[in-house]
Structure 1
Amino acid sequence: MSGNTFGTVFKVTTWGESHGNALGVVVDGTPAGLLLDASVIQKELDRRRPGQSSASTSRNEADTVEILSGVFEGKTTGMPISMMVRNKDANSNAYDYLRTIPRPGHADMLYREKYGTRDHRGGGRSSGRETLGRVAAGAIAKHLLSCYGITVVAHVIELDGIIASEMSFSEVMDNVEKTPVRCADLKAAQRMMQAIEDACKEGDSLGGIVEVIATGVPRGLGEPVFDKLDADIAKALMSIGAVKGLEIGAGFASARMKGSQMNDPFIVKDGQITCPTNNAGGIIGGISTGLPIICRVAVKPTPSISKKQRTVNMETGQECEVQVHGRHDPTIPPRLVPVAEAMVAIVLADHMLRSGFISPSSI
């Protein structure tokens, strides 16, 4: 099975399964000399950790990270950084009945057809728990980017059709962690929590939209033609299992605009050429403009629901019904927030290194 590594210079390889002994990640390309300890990684893993509220699965995992290599006396060595988190609260028995029954909305059947086998325990490698390694790697990327004044933050802007009011960047930074749904509009967040509770009572799940904002990104990142910055961001975010759509800047709204509305005019401000608007979302021609990078992802409802669904027994070929048991998120967007941040940060760190903005002497 290929496709476990992402990045060109800042390379990330995740490994492990949802109900295996452990999960982890190897990060190659981090410059030597970066101050780094486990607390930097743990802070981000704690944000992704399950069991924090009624908006997430009740699986109880501490997700304590172990740094196995690449850090010596509190600094990165320039060698691969290997990190591991051990699974403690996996309940594989709840999945025994799914050995031959694929769950609608999951990759169960396709994994079996492609590889001739599959780990039925919690989805194995296709589980959302795989994102743990991404968040650990993203923590290093975010920490590295912070040395250059770059900040990446995500927040839920829509859930079950409930749309948050537009918030300033400072309001997002201040409010995003104040509610379990990670919505900066606190009034909308209350309505979202009620919608989650209602969906849980019905044995159903909810989808939504997550917005990612990156500020402080210098002008000039991106390698046209096929390695455009927005193309790499799109691949990074679309590689998250629950993401089904993406837009950057004005996104799909640009299809309903005229050129005179969409184009960001150039002006001179404080002696610098810039744009008073940002319909491009901080990227033009695949190259960063220096304005905030803004992108949004559509996140599907959690496919594991307790409502009866139609499926087929892969051994007998007979149609049947399935009710998914076990512990699952009633909605994915709140826990996807740190994952989306991580993936955008990984892309930015990679392009910063590729473009020569980062060197060991500059850390």
Structure 2
Amino acid sequence: MSKDYFEDVPPELILVLATSLSTASLNALGQTCDRLYKMLQPELESRITPELARDLLVWAAPSKPHIVGKLLAPPHSVPPNPRGVWKSPLHIAAQAGNLETTRLLLAAGANPTAHWEQDWYQPLHLAAEKKHIDVIKLLLDNGAPVDSDYGCDGCRETALHHACAIGHLDMMKLLIERGANIEDRGHFGTALGFAVHYRQREAIKFLLDRGADASVSVPLFILLVGGPPLPHEASLLYMAMDLRHPSSPRYPRRLREGTRPTKWEGLPLGKNRKELMALLFAHGASKENTMQTISKHVGALAKEVECTEEEYLEIIAGMFKEAEGAIPDVR
């Protein structure tokens, strides 16, 4: 609409009209041209109650830093940690990756350790899930604890665990440089456990090169409620071998490929499985510890893949041999 459209309308008439309009309609009218905006802005400002200002702050947090700055400043002075909202403005800004809004909220006193939902998400966790590196840096600079965890019902993880699961090397490097504990444990074990579970080769190599312990045991199930069959945990090498768990209905790797074979494919090793096993062997993973788990449950394991115990152990020995032969290649 032309800026001159309302030029001939008397200001007094416009202001009288404004008093009979709803706030939403008044705002829409103010957007039609600069003259109306300047004329109606005082009336709009006078209608912003503390409750409306709080709601506007939440609404503006993802993408409107100029409005956020105005609401945080006098005369509105909206608290940066408002009560009665579903998700805090800082959580929203961090999840959206809006660096400017995140900076404004933190400068006004927004709490970087505030929790959201039953999973206890902090702004750092939402920024990590959306891969917003600059926002992660800003939150860490302003006191966000790098090893804070989120998740419920045993599904605990940290920002580093998530970065390892998705293989995001830049995020992993940043978090480790800021002091993240690579041996901190979550529902897939250590950071290395998350990387192995999700078959993230480069992340595995990155962690091993920085001293991650390849000999630790990790959980085989996220939840233990309801008593899943043993074993409940095993070595990283066991996980890298992608062995089917006895009586488990899950086929994690093969489901991701969209198939569900009726017969176990033990040999020859695929490139990914061979490299993962070789990497762990090269950094101290114990074949003996893995064999203890396999030997203890060999009957159930063999039954799951429809072969005899002897055939199963022969296949396992072949897997070890192939992987050990690949150690020079991964080094």
Taking structure 2 as the reference length, the TM-score comes to 0.24
In our comparison, the structure showing a higher alpha carbon Rg is 2
Please identify which structure carries the higher helix content: 2
Please identify which structure carries the higher strand content: 1
Taking structure 1 as the reference length, the TM-score comes to 0.22
- Structure with bigger RCO (C-alpha 8 Å, 6+ apart): 1
